[in-house]
Amino acid sequence: MAQLDTRQKLAILADAAKYDASCASSGSTRRDSRGGKGVGSTEGMGICHAYAPDGRCISLLKILLTNSCIFDCHYCINRKSSNVRRARFTVEEVVHLTLSFYKRNYIEGLFLSSGIIRSSNYTMEQLVEVARQLRDVHDFRGYIHLKTIPDADPELVHQAGLYADRVSINVELPTEAGLSRLAPEKDGRRIEGAMRDMKGAIDDGRDARRKYRSAPKFAPGGQSTQMIVGADEASDGDIVVRASQLYDRFSLRRVYYSAFSPIPDASAVLPLKRPPLLREHRLYQSDWLIRFYGFKPKEVVAATEDGMLPLDIDPKLAWALKFREQFPVDINRAGREQLLRIPGLGTKAVGRILTSRRWRKITLDDVARLTVSIARVRPFIVTADWRPTLLTDRADLRTLVAPREQQLNLFAA
Ligand code: SF4
């Protein structure tokens, strides 16, 4: 490997990390360094949020320890057979960079992943050592997200949870068939086993903290995972079902969906074109429907067409158009679960409706103040002064309520 300075390594290893979508820092406990103790905080003002050229949030220092790897996953730019420029940070370099960026208020924490060098255990040791030095040597109180390696010794993976706010283990692909075809060195059962162990350790950590305040925190931000979308044949329906199984089995905080990007020197088994980014967005919307709107995975799947979520309308509207017999919903009488099914009304709007209707009848104007477009909500609701006669049954309802495609104005404020 040619001698590179820190800046060159950073350019290579931050770029290599951009394919990882999991960059949210939600769900962590609050720490700060008020009173002159420690460095950093997981809350407070002045945190810079940056966006990579493809629009992904990189508010954390998001890097790989190295982009060299002994594995050869077809979809990965860092795979053994890839012809990319390689670089590797030392543990001390990552620690130094994190502290320097943090003190300059460029970042709110560190997201650290790595290709696998020498062995899974060796790589995991290095990742844990970065987090250990930050916490134990420098009293770093900012956010740390560590990617863990499912093949590594469970004790090492456990240590990651003692230092990191959040840990993640990528399932990579939605189906077992996709994993064996595109990442033959990875083992789906091992990945799930590591996630199960992590869930057990997180639960134990929480129990211990409930009993003893002095018990160490263990991955307070929980665990997450990432699925690559569009590299194999898995449909949106397959992905939705798989994600909900993962949430149920391993109590995940988040499943991230990352639209597969064609990479330089791509393997011939990969599709030539990336899936539309909108597909990733629709999957996130369906994820929210299941987590916050009371939809069951099979209901989201029922909203698909041949297994795929429509791209021109959101999944909630797609479901409403397919199951019109559930509408119109009476805004003044329906329960929360039914209100949450109305396209165009979010959880906050529903909360406001439930509060306001205790005091008076809700009118169409009231609902208009809670939504972006009352024209799109109207066919699905009944209010004190509105009932959509035959509107819900119209054959052209989809055209009436689908958002119009607009040419974005480059110079709009
Ligand atoms: S193990 Fe990770 S870094 Fe290595 S090739 Fe597979 S996905 Fe890429």
Q: How far is the CA of 292 from the centre of ligand 1 (A)?
A: 33
What is the DSSP code string of 80-107?
TT--PPP-B--HHHHHHHHHHHHHTTS-
Ligand 1 mutation pick, 64, 78, 226, max ligand atoms within 8 A of CB: 78
Per-residue confidence (pLDDT) for residue 34, from 0 to 100: 57
Q: How far is the CA of 42 from the centre of ligand 1 (A)?
A: 29
Q: How far is the CA of 364 from the centre of ligand 1 (A)?
A: 53
Ligand 1 mutation pick, 73, 147, 263, 267, max ligand atoms within 8 A of CB: 73
Cα→Cα distances 365→60, 182, 285, 370, 375, Å: 42, 53, 27, 9, 11
Domain of 99, CATH number, reads 3.20.20.70
Ligand 1 mutation pick, 69, 127, 147, 171, max ligand atoms within 8 A of CB: 69
In a domain, 135, yes or no: yes
Q: What is the mean pLDDT of residues 178-202?
A: 93
Task: Give the lowest-confidence range in 52-66, 152-166, 224-238, 379-393.
Answer: 52-66
Is the minimum distance from the CB of 116 to ligand 1 under 6 angstroms?
Answer: yes
Q: How far is the CA of 74 from the centre of ligand 1 (A)?
A: 9
Beta bridge partners of residue 329, listed in sequence order: 381
In a domain, 199, yes or no: yes
Is the minimum distance from the CB of 78 to ligand 1 under 6 angstroms?
Answer: yes
Task: Give the lowest-confidence range in 49-58, 90-99, 113-122, 209-218.
Answer: 49-58
Q: Which residue has the higher pLDDT, 271 or 191?
A: 191
Is the minimum distance from the CB of 401 to ligand 1 under 6 angstroms?
Answer: no
Question: Are 215 and 327 found together in one domain?
Answer: no
Which amino acid makes up residue 193?
Answer: G
Exposure string over 277-304, b if 16+ CB within 10 A, otherwise e? eebbebbebbbbbbeebebebebbbebb
Q: How far is the CA of 271 from the centre of ligand 1 (A)?
A: 18
CA pair distance 185, 111, nearest whole angstrom? 24
Residue 119 pLDDT exceeds 80: yes
CB atoms within 10 A of CB 367: 22
Question: Are 362 and 255 found together in one domain?
Answer: no
| SS3 category, 128 | helix
Query: Which residue has the CA at smallest separation from atom 1 of ligand 1?
Result: 71
Q: How far is the CA of 252 from the centre of ligand 1 (A)?
A: 22
Per-residue confidence (pLDDT) for residue 27, from 0 to 100: 45
Strand order in the sheet with 109-113: 61-64, 109-113, 143-147, 166-168, 223-229, 254-259
In a domain, 259, yes or no: yes
Identify the domain boundary among 258, 275, 292: 275
Query: Which residue has the CA at smallest separation from atom 6 of ligand 1?
Result: 73
Q: Which residue has the higher pLDDT, 407 or 359?
A: 359
- The pLDDT tens digits for 1-58 are 668 888 889 888 888 887 776 655 444 555 555 566 666 555 433 233 543 334 445 4
Q: How confident is the model at residue 364 (pLDDT cuts 50, 70, 90)?
A: very high
Identify the domain boundary among 240, 257, 275: 275
- The pLDDT tens digits for 73-96 are 988 889 998 888 999 999 999 999
Question: Are 260 and 387 found together in one domain?
Answer: no
In a domain, 317, yes or no: no
Per-residue confidence (pLDDT) for residue 1, from 0 to 100: 60
Is the minimum distance from the CB of 79 to ligand 1 under 6 angstroms?
Answer: yes
Q: How many whole angstroms from its chain centre is CA 186? A: 22
CA pair distance 271, 311, nearest whole angstrom? 19
Question: Are 334 and 268 found together in one domain?
Answer: no
Per-residue confidence (pLDDT) for residue 269, from 0 to 100: 81
Q: Which residue has the higher pLDDT, 139 or 38?
A: 139
CA pair distance 405, 349, nearest whole angstrom? 25
Question: Are 251 and 343 found together in one domain?
Answer: no
Question: Are 56 and 187 found together in one domain?
Answer: yes
- Global pTM? 0.85
Is the minimum distance from the CB of 226 to ligand 1 under 6 angstroms?
Answer: no
Residue 407 pLDDT exceeds 70: no
Ligand 1 atom at minimum distance from 114 CA: 3
Q: How many whole angstroms from its chain centre is CA 251? A: 14
CA proximity to 340, closest of 292, 409, 305, 302: 292
Cα→Cα distances 261→110, 112, 171, 255, 279, Å: 24, 21, 17, 18, 13
Q: How far is the CA of 71 from the centre of ligand 1 (A)?
A: 6
Strands 223-229 and 166-168: parallel
Q: How far is the CA of 65 from the centre of ligand 1 (A)?
A: 13
Q: How many domains does the chain have?
A: 2
Per-residue confidence (pLDDT) for residue 304, from 0 to 100: 96
Q: How far is the CA of 180 from the centre of ligand 1 (A)?
A: 14
Q: How far is the CA of 240 from the centre of ligand 1 (A)?
A: 24
CA proximity to 102, closest of 140, 145, 136: 140
In a domain, 126, yes or no: yes
385: which 2 tokens?
A: 């002064």
Per-residue confidence (pLDDT) for residue 297, from 0 to 100: 96
**Helix%, strand%, coil% for the chain, nearest 5:** 40, 10, 50
Q: How many whole angstroms from its chain centre is CA 291? A: 13
Is the minimum distance from the CB of 69 to ligand 1 under 6 angstroms?
Answer: yes
Q: How confident is the model at residue 132 (pLDDT cuts 50, 70, 90)?
A: very high
In a domain, 406, yes or no: no
Residue 369: domain span: 323-401
Question: Are 251 and 333 found together in one domain?
Answer: no
- The pLDDT tens digits for 266-295 are 777 888 788 888 999 999 999 999 999 999
Is the minimum distance from the CB of 113 to ligand 1 under 6 angstroms?
Answer: no
Question: Are 168 and 51 found together in one domain?
Answer: yes
Give the H or E element holding residue 254.
strand 254-259
333: which 2 tokens?
A: 């009488």
Per-residue confidence (pLDDT) for residue 163, from 0 to 100: 96
122: which 2 tokens?
A: 């060796």
Q: What is the mean pLDDT of residues 245-250?
A: 96
Q: How far is the CA of 256 from the centre of ligand 1 (A)?
A: 17
Q: Which residue has the higher pLDDT, 399 or 89?
A: 89
Ligand 1 atom at minimum distance from 78 CA: 8
Question: Are 261 and 351 found together in one domain?
Answer: no
Identify the domain boundary among 275, 306, 340: 275
